[in-house]
Structure 1
Amino acid sequence: MRCLSGRCAARSIPGAPAFVPAAPAFIPAAVAARASRADSGGVQPRSPAMRHDDLTLREGFAIAAARTDAEAGGGQTSSYRDGEGRAGPLAPSSASSAMPTPRDAGGEAPATAPPRRYDLDWLRVLAVLALLLFHSGMPFVAEWGWHIKNAETSSLFLEWMYFLSRWRMALLFLISGVGTWFALGSRGGAGYLRERTKRLLLPLLFGMLVVVPPQIYMERLTQGVPYANYLQFWSSIFALVPYPKGNTSWHHLWFVAYLFCYSALLLPAFLWLRGDRGAQTLAKLRAGLHGGRLVLLGVPLAAAHALYLWFPDTKALVGDWGNFCYYLVFFAYGFLLGRDEGVWSAIERYRWHALRLAFFAILAIDYLRWNKLEPGAGNLPGLLAGTTLSALNAWCWVLTVLGFGKRWLNRDNPLRRYATEAVYPFYILHQTVIVVIAYYVVQVPHESILGKWLFLVVASFAVTMGLYEFAVRPYRWVRPLFGLKPQGGTFGHGNAA
């Protein structure tokens, strides 16, 4: 089949201020006893920001911790209106209450909401903006084909776009996995699957019928295919002949299709890991990831990446075992990281080490590429070494971005709240807008590649945001087609994509 794609245990605080209330009567005795044991451990007093990150403490003393953060002026307090985790970088989902929620089929919901990870919100938004820059550069990059191509191309564009292509989608899948951990904490398995169906499959179907076809139509125009009008072309997508031979495709929405498959496929394992027995296994796995041992997670990634040697990139889902397994590992890693503060602290602490490893890895890859020293088809050991280097490079860049993001981006403001909702519709729309505008931009004579690219970036951003603001955001019946809740508003944790 051809390509369907276009390309602490709870710890008390010795010496805590007097305004921290005692455990309310409704707190279970086991929780109070656990806190008492932590008292005897000599834990040092914590700053308000550290209390914000202490997730387990809020499980037993949610009300007390919220009051303490507010009175201490810690700057970041738990958002009890946001009862879910983010299930991925894009599509929003409904927020839940901070009050205990009833059991759902397939699992239980926790009593309280975890604090919000603003850094993951920002990274998700920045990753999608990077996609805008990347796809706007595709008409001008040398060596790569695309739907619309400029007569003149640039090898310089190839370098920065090659760099982004190593890790940008991996980052989005990992953030999706982190959000799945939070989402399954506020709803059970059946509720989670229903939510993913609404937030992923509906936009995917709408995208394949309405959003993606203009991209294929513009490409066919450049190929001289004689369609009388757009409606004649549009009717051809129902022949269900996969792109590029036919006109049925999900193009850039392959991410949404793969994400739904991952969510459904790994759901039983994820539910088990959130149960009592599975939690012990998960705790052991996380305990082994503290410190520099995080880099060892690159080994399974290297094994998955090796599948590209036999299953080249198609993004067609069927037979696309290289992409499917490689990004599946990143998604599972996101769930593994979850909200374990020990692991996240290690990611932040070793961010400079990860950056150095990533930098030297990409230098090695580029040296081989620039000097045409990449192993040939008959050199299996060399190919395996090269694919291992590529996987480790991607993993180190992801760790670098996560580490610096946690250090500098865990802050809230109105722009974050707006962007968190807008990012999924923006992702769905952006490539179609780019292709349509690029069709006309590449025909402009006597203009530099840089000038055309800058115009394409600015124009595509403006048009995409305009479509979101005036054609998607205000209308209750349109919003679900782009993965948004009908009633509008800012979305909390549990974003579907």
Structure 2
Amino acid sequence: MQRNYDIDWLRTLIVITIIHFHAFIIFNQNPEAIMYVKDMTNVLAFNNIGGVLDRFNMATLFLLSGITIYYSLQSRSIKAFLSERFKKLLLPFLTGSILLNPIMTYFWSMNQGDSESFTEHYIGFFTKNVGGLDGLNGGYTPAHLWFVLYLFIFSLMGLPFFLWLKSNKSERIRNSLAVFFFKPVVLCLLAVPYCFIYLIEILNEKNPIAYFYLILIGCIFATDARYIKALNRDKWIYLALSVFMFILFFRYKNSDIESTFGIYSFAFIEKLLKIIPAYALIGLFNCYINKNSRFLKYLSTACYPIYVIHMVILTAIGFNVIKFNLSPVFKFFIIVIASYSFCFLIYELLRRSRYIGILFGIQRKKTKTNTTILENIV
């Protein structure tokens, strides 16, 4: 097994650019687009770019996380694996939920004109009815850390399957699956069950069953090199399919679809756009961006703690910048540049603090030669 730098690059870039994605939402007046500060202006271009990213960014991360869970178990005992999951997932989740998320919802309450003190708001954060878990009523919300919580729960739930998959007992099945799915574009079949899972209505777009399915698929991908080779071979087909479906998606997104067939067809395309673009990205990165560098090493280590802290920084900066009498484009670039600057600055401070850094997912690991796992992937 060789280290998959393409997976490192893809995972890192998606996590880092999540700052752009959340900054776009500041200028989206759709109430279903949750952000804890909102400008008064609705920018259609930002909405469309954010809509594209929203389709596949989290699905891709869950696929990659499934791949790296399998790699992680190749070199760790069960005890070491669970210990790493607790330290890198559960601990940052608790830290963010207790220390960071109440600050974000406090900015939301101030933006709505509420006059309660931060102490009152902080108490209410843990005592109010959670409602829709979005925090917009001042109650508890996991906010962006729902991704971290899901990964932790899925790591525990799927452990029996992961262990069976890496055992000799599954070798025949693994080989049969790899032979079948290596055929051109046959991996599309794995996207079909994913679409139907959403008929079970749980937490809307954050359906935990759907994301757990992606973890399992990612883990299967890691069992045989033929899966990645198939994605590499068919990458342009998946990219063309993605572009075609995005054209249909935006054409019918805001139109009035009256027929039952039309409604279900649109929903099917909407869910396919979570997986097919992920296939294209994995294939493209495997083909063209698969080299190590000092820049990758730094970003790969930094991106996870930055993911944990970025939302509160973005919210604080956005809360002040939207008050400026500037065009939305200038506001956006100020928010993004300032957010990146403060995120990396705070990360540098955290990584120099041995004990505080651990609370935000910064793990100090001994240098290993000829490593075969992706140490920094969650």
TM-score normalised by the chain length of structure 2:
0.92
Query: Distance in 2 between the 1:374 and 1:488 partners?
Result: 57
Corresponding residue number in structure 2 for 1:392:
272
The 3-state SS of whatever aligns with 1:124 is helix
Corresponding residue number in structure 2 for 1:259:
151
Corresponding residue number in structure 1 for 2:348:
469
CA 1:494/1:327 → structure 2, altered by over 3 Å: closer, same or farther?
same
Aligned pair partner of 1:332 in 190, 209, 216: 216
Unaligned runs of 5+ in 1: 1-113, 316-322
Q: Percent identity?
A: 27
Query: Distance in 1 between the 2:366 and 2:120 partners?
Result: 36
Query: Distance in 1 between the 2:258 and 2:323 partners?
Result: 39
Does residue 304 (structure 1) correspond to residue 197 (structure 2)? The answer is: yes
CA 1:312/1:180 → structure 2, altered by over 3 Å: closer, same or farther?
closer
Does residue 281 (structure 1) correspond to residue 173 (structure 2)? The answer is: yes
Does residue 238 (structure 1) correspond to residue 118 (structure 2)? The answer is: no
Give the drift of 1:435: 0.5
Corresponding residue number in structure 1 for 2:46:
157
Give the drift of 1:486: 4.2
Provide Cα deviations, 1:93-120, integer angstroms capped at 9, x if missing partner.
Answer: xxxxxxxxxxxxxxxxxxxxx3110111
Aligned residue pair count:
368
Corresponding residue number in structure 2 for 1:81:
none
CA contact (8 A) 1:200 1:496 kept: no
CA 1:375/1:272 → structure 2, altered by over 3 Å: closer, same or farther?
farther
| Higher gyration radius (CA) | 1
Letter in 2 for 1:475: S
CA contact (8 A) 1:350 1:403 kept: yes
Which structure has more RCO (C-alpha within 8 Å, separation ≥ 6)?
2
Corresponding residue number in structure 2 for 1:56:
none
Corresponding residue number in structure 2 for 1:69:
none
Query: Distance in 2 between the 1:349 and 1:453 partners?
Result: 38
Provide Cα deviations, 1:241-281, integer angstroms capped at 9, x if missing partner.
Answer: 42333432210000001111111111111111111112221
Give the drift of 1:421: 0.9
The 3-state SS of whatever aligns with 2:354 is coil
Does residue 127 (structure 1) correspond to residue 7 (structure 2)? The answer is: no
Unaligned runs of 5+ in 2: none
CA contact (8 A) 1:142 1:155 kept: no
CA contact (8 A) 1:134 1:161 kept: yes
Give the drift of 1:488: 7.9
Provide Cα deviations, 1:25-59, integer angstroms capped at 9, x if missing partner.
Answer: xxxxxxxxxxxxxxxxxxxxxxxxxxxxxxxxxxx
Does residue 313 (structure 1) correspond to residue 193 (structure 2)? The answer is: no
Q: Going by fraction, where is helix more abundant, 1 or 2? A: 2
The 3-state SS of whatever aligns with 1:233 is helix
RMSD: 2.0
Corresponding residue number in structure 2 for 1:355:
239
Does residue 190 (structure 1) correspond to residue 57 (structure 2)? The answer is: no
Corresponding residue number in structure 2 for 1:455:
334
The 3-state SS of whatever aligns with 1:478 is helix
CA 1:496/1:411 → structure 2, altered by over 3 Å: closer, same or farther?
closer
CA 1:489/1:143 → structure 2, altered by over 3 Å: closer, same or farther?
farther
Query: Distance in 2 between the 1:344 and 1:420 partners?
Result: 21
Letter in 2 for 1:301: Y
Aligned pair partner of 1:493 in 358, 361, 374: 374
Query: Distance in 2 between the 1:219 and 1:488 partners?
Result: 42
Corresponding residue number in structure 2 for 1:374:
257
